[in-house]
Amino acid sequence: MATDKIKIGLLGVGRMGQNHLRNILQLKDAELSFIYDVDRETCAKLSAQYGVAVSEDLDADMKKVDGVVIVTPTFTHFDYIKRAAECVKNIFVEKPLTDSAETAREVVKLAEEKGLNIQVGFIERYNPAVASLKAVMLNSSSVINAEFNRSNKVASGRITDVDVVIDLMIHDIDLALGLNGKAVRVSGHGCRKNGMIEYARALVTHENGRVSDITASRITEKRIRQVNIACEDMFIDCNLLNKEVRVHRQPEQTINGAVLSAKDEAVEVKLYDALQAELSDFLKLCRGEKTQASDVYAGLESLEIAEEIRKQI
């Protein structure tokens, strides 16, 4: 790179985009070169608040940066990715990659033809509890199945331009693939409200024989982010909201006929900011370094499974 700092352009400054804005500004190795949004009034307010430039010529400005971060509505992802691909090599796009597997496959083809580095924003990969969960799973003799439960009522301010499968469940589809491997069979059911899927449950069977049971809801009266892993030698309880991981074991030992009590152990979770970690990986990607980030192929795979689930509801 011409300078030590990675120059970044931010496309989209809505609710999630503003989270990215604040975090990019906090990264010592990043320089936020410009922000862009069709909502010019919000751009002007954020420009005054944070002292950042607003793009007046997006294509010209994208050619001047090392990477762009796309945090626009899902239905616009495909068009912005294609537009960015003509200007810059490194592209971060919030999940999902696009709004359909068909357009996602076109993005994969585009990335291969142009040698693009595309990172998809599956932030749960960077949840500190997930790192501890993976470490515990590696020490298990055999994983049987995994349960994922994610709920957040629509009234809490979440986006409503996509259904619950694309909004919430896709996070756990990505986690399930990362923890349990490639999927070979998918089934799903759920319910709709005003034509939109608001509750969904899916069973994903993996190549290694493991099963992922994934539930997502935008009508449940409780905010939940939970992963439970059943193993032959332990049960792992992972709370993604509270960043807590616990291991439960049922002993088979007895003393004078009395069964010893079950063991319940807390696992150390090293706390850090997930979005900061995710964006730091994007800076590494811009430098040509390897990362744990979700690439364009992972983005496509998650979308293909999501679409199969939606077809069955």
79 φ/ψ sector (left φ>0, alpha ψ -120 to 50, else beta): alpha
129 and 268 belong to one structural domain:
yes
Tens digit of each residue's pLDDT (9 = 90 or more) over 88-118: 999 999 999 999 999 999 999 999 999 999 9
Tens digit of each residue's pLDDT (9 = 90 or more) over 181-205: 999 999 999 999 989 999 999 999 9
Rounded to whole angstroms, the Cα distance separating 85 from 115 reads 10
Which of 96, 101, 305 minimizes the C-alpha distance to 202? 305
Q: Is residue 1 part of a domain?
A: no
Instruction: Report the 10 Å Cβ neighbour count for 133.
Output: 23
Which CATH number fits the domain that encloses residue 267?
A: 3.30.360.10
In DSSP notation, 6-66 reads EEEEEE--SHHHHHHHHHHHH-TTEEEEEEE-S-HHHHHHHHHHH--PBPSSHHHHHTTSS
288 in helix, strand or coil? coil
Angle (CA) 171-177-179 rounded to 5° is 100
99 and 226 belong to one structural domain:
no
110 and 142 belong to one structural domain:
no
72 and 56 belong to one structural domain:
yes
Q: Which domain holds residue 33?
A: 6-122+276-296
- Burial profile 144-167: b = 16 or more Cβ within 10 angstroms, e = fewer: ebbbbbbbbebeeeeeeebbbbbb
Q: Is residue 246 part of a domain?
A: yes
* pLDDT at residue 155 is higher than 90: no
133 and 211 belong to one structural domain:
yes
Where residue 2 falls among pLDDT bands split at 50, 70, 90? very low
90 and 154 belong to one structural domain:
no
Tens digit of each residue's pLDDT (9 = 90 or more) over 239-255: 999 999 999 998 776 66
Residue type (1 letter), 132: S
139 and 261 belong to one structural domain:
yes
Which of 128, 5, 120 minimizes the C-alpha distance to 71? 120
251 and 185 belong to one structural domain:
yes
Which CATH number fits the domain that encloses residue 290?
A: 3.40.50.720
DSSP 3-state helix, strand, coil percentages of the chain (rounded to 5)?
A: 40, 30, 30
Unique residue bearing structure tokens 């090293």: 270
Unique residue bearing structure tokens 């969960």: 133
Q: Is residue 193 part of a domain?
A: yes
In DSSP notation, 149-189 reads EEE--GGGT---SS-HIIIIIHHHHHHHHHHH--EEEEEEE
Could you give the angle at which helices 170-180 and 296-311 cross, rounded to 10 degrees?
120
173 and 71 belong to one structural domain:
no
10 and 70 belong to one structural domain:
yes
Fill in the DSSP letter of residue 294: B
160 and 260 belong to one structural domain:
yes
250 and 143 belong to one structural domain:
yes
Long-range contacts of the stretch 156-163 (C-beta < 8 A, 24+): 156/223, 157/15, 158/218, 159/15, 159/73, 159/74, 160/196, 161/73, 161/74, 161/75, 162/74, 162/96, 162/99, 163/196, 163/197, 163/198, 163/200, 163/310
Tens digit of each residue's pLDDT (9 = 90 or more) over 214-225: 999 999 999 999
Residue 54 near residue 111, CB atoms below 8 Å: no
Tens digit of each residue's pLDDT (9 = 90 or more) over 36-76: 999 999 999 999 999 999 999 999 999 999 999 999 999 99
Q: What is the mean pLDDT of the chain?
A: 94
Q: How many domains does the chain have?
A: 2
Q: Which is it for strands 235-239 and 244-249: parallel, antiparallel or unpaired?
A: antiparallel
For the chain, how many residues are written? 313
Q: Is residue 73 part of a domain?
A: yes
